Amino acid sequence: MTFHQRERQMAEAEARGQAALEQALTLAFWDALERGPLPPMAALEAAARTVGTLYRQIASLHGPAPRCGCGWQPEPDEDLIRLEAMLAAALIERPRPRLADMPVAGRA
């Protein structure tokens, strides 16, 4: 297998992993709102705060004494810019096909 084939396989595996995580988070979000409706911005604030908490948790596994061996080094300032860019892009993105059949009837 060539370097480029391996790179492409890794990128595809990452995209599949991201898609699975997005789906799990989306289902959990709508499921929670089904059980306890919240004003839309209150729900989204909770989701955004959770992403921040997840960042802090996973960064703590990669700090000066990493407990994970993947080699990632948290760069909070740069990482925040990257996450903000993802958030901004998602706000204006057209819904992707697999998200199109998510429950739009959620009482957000």
Residue ranges in contact with Zn ion by CB under 5 A? 68, 70, 72
Question: Which is nearer to Zn ion, 74 or 106 (by Cβ)?
Answer: 74
**Of residues 1 and 68, the one with the C-beta less far from Zn ion:** 68
**Helices then strands, each counted (H, E), the chain:** 4, 0
CB of 71 to Zn ion, least distance (A): 7
Give 85's Cβ-side CA count (13 Å radius): 6
**Is the separation of the CB atoms in 81 and 7 below 8 Å?**
no
Nearer to Zn ion, 70 or 91 (CB): 70
